[in-house]
Amino acid sequence: METVDLARLQFALTAGAHFLFVALTLGLATLVALLQTRATLTRSPVHLRMTRFWGQLYLINYAMGIVTGLVMEFQLGLAWSGLTEYAGNVFGSALAVETLVAFFVESTFLGLWIFGWNRLNRWAHLALIWVVTLTAYASAFWIMVANGFLQHPAGHVPDGAALRLADLGAMAGNPAAQLAFWHVMGGAMLTGGFFMAGVSAYHLRRRTPEQDFFRKSLRLGLGLALPAAMFTVTFGGLQFQTMQPSKVAVWSGRTELMAEAQTAMTALHGPGDWLPPVAGVRVAGVLMMVLWVVMIMVAGTGVPLMAFRPVVRAFRPWHWLLTLMIPVPFVTMLAGWVFREMGRQPWAVYGLLTTAEAMSPVTPAQIRVSLAAFVTVFAVLVAVNYWLLARHARRGPGAVALGGTPVEAAPAAPVPAF
């Protein structure tokens, strides 16, 4: 592989791994906020215990997401200095807002929420988790604003050999960012919903004592997953309106459209291969859509089954299916991300800066060493996160430490013999 291909592979692996943590964090934050709202309004002990159990899993994933995000920043600076020198004044402003406003506030209030258990007024404590959730949305929004600029540059003016931000409103209102943000948010809800339903199905299948706890959790997870699937596909379909012509041509698979796109780009930018990789774009797009169909079928058939309590408690084949569905939303989101990012090639900033021009002046040996280092670090982080999540999910709510004191287990509910 050439140096630029290795650099692209490195960015794809690091950003993709980080994206997995972000998706689950956004989904679980919403579910935890909903659970705590129910617990605060009704003083329901089981919903309070659900808040702590799922909140602890959310915190594990959040912490690992922070670590991977920091590592990704390093590789961005090491391998893509050409991009930051040319367009850093523009898309870097969105990343700065994300860091200073969204991420800083989110982390601060999350710390107050963690240490505020049993110390703060319950309404104040509820307000904290909603601030955390909303600032997590804000963080995702500004990330998508930065990405939307790379997909369809807006709000900038040339300034010598670089770009300068001229209209922050135009960049924030970029349709390529707005539609992608809502699409990603729907995918995150879908991920969180299937995660909650899958873990709950695991406990119901194994007949652990917390039957009522996980029956309610399974219903909440699937109840969110179904509308989230419809929400996601709606904004995914709308995004086809903002796709680059070369990506549309490749996705269609029609040779005459690809030839027209190539001719148009050659007229604008000179000789070169201006089409994205056909196989990569089409395989990623088809995989994303097929897996969405699988998820909508599982969620669509599962929601009516939730109305029958004996089925929720005892239908083991369904429990197996829901547990096996846990990784499906993650794979779907990665396929969608590859479809979006690979479809913009060979541009780093569409129509303005190629990926090759965006690279740092590094040697093949340097990029191979850094690729091996980043892959090793991220593989360890992903494995540790999976192990921690699986370990705490298997232990159940009886082992929750969030809040400083273990939550008392509820009396075991009688389990039907069938």
- With vertex at residue 14, the alpha carbon angle to CA 11 and CA 18, rounded to the nearest 5 degrees, is 130
Confidence of residue 47 (pLDDT cuts 50, 70, 90): very high
Q: Does the structure show a pLDDT above 50 at 418? A: no
Q: What share of the chain is helix, strand, coil (3-state, %, to 5)?
A: 80, 5, 20
- With vertex at residue 260, the alpha carbon angle to CA 256 and CA 264, rounded to the nearest 5 degrees, is 170
Q: Does the structure show a pLDDT above 70 at 412? A: no
Contact assessment for residue 199 and residue 185, using Cβ atoms and an 8 Å cutoff: no
d(CA 274, CA 277): 10
Structure tokens at 45: 């002990």
d(CA 384, CA 407): 25
Structure tokens at 144: 């998508």
Contact assessment for residue 22 and residue 65, using Cβ atoms and an 8 Å cutoff: yes
Confidence of residue 407 (pLDDT cuts 50, 70, 90): very low
Confidence of residue 182 (pLDDT cuts 50, 70, 90): very high
Q: Does the structure show a pLDDT above 60 at 153? A: yes
- Spatial CB neighbours of 108, under 8 Å, sequence gap ≥ 6: none
Q: Does the structure show a pLDDT above 60 at 11? A: yes
Higher-scoring residue by pLDDT: 296, 361: 296
In this predicted structure, what is the pLDDT of residue 21? 86
Q: Does the structure show a pLDDT above 80 at 309? A: yes
Q: Does the structure show a pLDDT above 90 at 183? A: yes
In this predicted structure, what is the pLDDT of residue 417? 47
User: What is the arithmetic mean of pLDDT over 400-414?
Assistant: 58
Rg value, the chain, Cα: 23
- Tell me the angle at which helices 122-151 and 175-205 cross, rounded to the nearest 10 degrees: 130
